[in-house]
Structure 1
């Protein structure tokens, strides 16, 4: 006859079931042991270290993105100092952001369908290897002290980035489990700022030790290693790829129909527009360091470090606030845009380097949270067959409006001065965030936004 105790030991879905049968019953009954088993079960899903350890393909994508972004910032920081020293103009320095943003925008009608119709893995490898060519051109520009050549090569890197950057965002839901997607996207999205954080410091060290040309060698090597890591990814980056035929008009029409019919997607795209419309003032950071605080090239790197550190913190803080709710995600993202504006309003007021660093840190916590919450929301709301085009659209809107904003900053700075230009764009960020939040609230009242986070059928495991 079976005892009640033995029945209890065989009950399904119990923490006892994972304890080997040879373990004494007295130990198997200990509550602490049950807790340890539950902890061991849950830990892999909540830890970035565990996710990187257990998911080799995500680890390769993460490391490849980290290397290429760090190399880019090593070059960009060195290029900022190079252009300012050659021209002595704040306008030329801000123009770098425009050149870094706009050239790839003109190719967006082609890049979007490419990302959905072609193998994303091969496309990313081609972009990484192709980016080495303009890096070699920058070596020549530094050697000949040619600013136009440097800007032309930067435009080439912008085109390569326009094709390569949306691919990890579009492919990520295919590489990680749905429950791990928010954590994975937060980590991947924060790499842009982490690359700045590490790249700014590394660029200063490499430039001081071996010269500015050495920074370009680092950048070129980062692209080569990135291509190698992407080539080793085993899972497909494109699950919904059906044909290699590109139909630019039909594919673009399908994209806009999806955007118009999905309120959450529309809301996050409008938020992206607002963030990047005000982003041109970030290009004034080197000028604040050199002419505002008078701290030299080292101060440029340190101010970029403060910016990068804030933008790394932002995504992780934002993720903790949303807790799987689309409504909280929307409200937190709007508040983050306002925080960006408030940080730069403070920056325009201070005269000391320490408070300036704090203001940049606070402002870019807002930038990091706003950008990553928007991207992750779009990933959750978009099916794989169109996700590439949506991510390219996000990248295009970001590049276009950031470029336009940067172009506007140059004449504004010349006419009204650096502090007033900063106040104007920072105030615009706060006002835009307030108006956007009103629009989101009205959409919520019309019950057009689902709760909790939405996901399409090709993203299994997420509630609708």
Structure 2
């Protein structure tokens, strides 16, 4: 494993050295993601302190994800009809305005203004988030695309680990104003980095009037006639349908392992490390053929389920961390292999809409799964809920693999 990891690290550093545009894109994504978590940590504490309600705090996650789902018919065509680089810069610079609004909300104690600003930030994030994925095949060579996508995929988990952790430290040490200033600065620097990228974000950009119905119909027509893309979307849906059990990690730390807040942090750390390393492990195992990528992605979904099945049966923090780590190795590998497969299967003129659809489906199905976990836990208990969703992940992976194999033979 370590020689393979050293080879991946060497390949990554070589790619970053020789491709300045990709290096700038990675820097921009890392800064904006980390800044997002800085603001979210500060906002979570502010809302809870001013309302005393965990329900209001949980509402933040809904506000953070809903715009991408509700605005999908508009956001998808935007990323294909307009210059993606300029669109990303506009979103980064536009995000500075609601960050300033959060500063005002924090100083006036207005929860309503804070939630409104978060909603605006979420709209900008929903537009900006899929653009790097849609643009990546135009910024790197086909030989480097798999590694480049692996790096971008790992950034999302790394942003959570670094951004949430540092956000808490900065907020505790210097207050929420400092946290929001860092967030605003991250958007400005991200915009400057994207502005310095020389290669085009699209191979055939044509600014024209949006045709939401026609553009959406073209997307569905593409998916109907491209079985590979449809299959990878179904795999992404299966992963997110089972994802709600991740929300039970704090309950395991507190009620099963009895290790308090430090144990909650330890489980989330194990989860995050697995999600960061999973894309690299998946890329290494899937190298060689498209069909192998499909089966490794399905196996990774099964590993996710098996990790949480193991979590349901362990009684100590150490084994629990190992189970969470293994499960999220599977999450990271499955998500990025599916995304990379979609990039390869999708032509540039429709790739923006496909990437937006992936992000929207992930948010919608993950939200549904998270909402379902609470009543399931109340009805059958935490352990059986984890088992049920873990088995669902394994069964989904097996059925999906069988259907892909049958389709390949026909």
TM-score of the aligned structures, taking structure 2 as reference length: 0.89
* d(CA) in 1 for partners of 2:105, 2:182: 16
Query: Shift of the alpha carbon at 1:281?
Result: 2.5
How big is the shift at 1:393? 1.1
Q: CA deviation at 1:152?
A: 4.2
Could you list the per-position Cα deviations for residues 334-368 of structure 1 after superposition, in whole angstroms to 9, with x for gaps in the alignment? 11111112222233333433332222211111111
1:275 corresponds to which residue? 239
Given that residues 47 and 111 in structure 2 are in contact (C-alpha distance below 8 angstroms), is that contact kept between their aligned partners in structure 1?
yes
Q: 1:305 aligns with which of 255, 269, 292?
A: 269
Q: Does 1:52 align with 2:16?
A: yes
Structure 1 residues 432, 77: CA separation in 2 closer, same or farther (over 3 Å shift)?
farther
Matching of residues 353-432 of structure 1 within 5 Å: 353-432=317-396
1:11 equivalent in structure 2: none
Q: Is the 8 A contact 2:38 2:183 kept in 1?
A: yes
Q: Hey, what's the Cα distance between the residues in 1 that align with 2:45 and 2:390?
A: 25
Looking at structure 1, the residues matched to 38 and 254 of structure 2 have their Cα atoms a distance apart, in angstroms, of 19
Cα distance change of structure 1 residues 411 and 160 upon mapping to structure 2, 3 Å threshold = farther
Matched, 1:319 2:287: no
Matches within 5 A, 1:46-195: 47-79=11-43, 87=52, 89=54, 95-139=59-103, 150-195=114-159
- Does the aligned pair in 1 maintain the 2:83–2:207 contact within 8 Å? no
Distance 1:267 1:273 in 2: 10
- Report the CA distance between 1:270 and its aligned residue: 0.3
How far apart, in 1, do the equivalents of 2:65 and 2:237 lie?
Answer: 14
* Cα distance, 1:267 vs structure 2: 0.7
Partners of 2:74 and 2:329 lie apart in 1 by: 33
Farther-moved stretch of structure 1 (110-119 vs 235-244): 235-244
For 2:237 and 2:374, locate their aligned partners in 1 and report how far apart those are by CA, in whole Å: 20
74-83 vs 168-177, which moves further: 74-83
Question: Per-residue CA shift, 1:278-310, capped at 9, x if unaligned?
Answer: 222323334544555455555444433222211
- The CA distance in 1 between the partners of 2:173 and 2:9, in whole Å, is 42
RMSD after superposition:
2.7
Say which of 343, 347, 370 aligns to 2:311: 347
Shift of the 442–379 alpha-carbon distance from structure 1 to 2, 3 Å rule, reads same
Tell me if structure 2 keeps the 8 A contact 1:176–1:184: yes
Residue 23 of structure 1: aligned partner:
none
Gaps of 5+ in 1: 1-42, 447-464
Cα deviation, residue 176, structure 1: 0.8
2:34–2:163 Cα contact (<8 Å) kept? yes
- On the 8 A contact 2:223/2:230 being kept in 1, the answer is yes
Shift of 1:409: 2.7
Contact 2:307 2:324 in 1 (8 A): yes
Q: Which residue does 2:163 correspond to in 1?
A: 199
1:67-105 deviation digits (Å, cap 9, x = unpaired):
11122233344555666675464x666554433222221
Shift of residue 374 of structure 1? 0.5
Post-superposition offset of 1:313: 0.6
> Corresponding residue for 1:4?
none
Q: Are 2:214 and 1:250 aligned?
A: yes
Higher helix share: 2
- CA deviations over 1:184-241 (Å, ceiling 9, x no partner): 1111111101112222331232233223553333222222211111111111112212
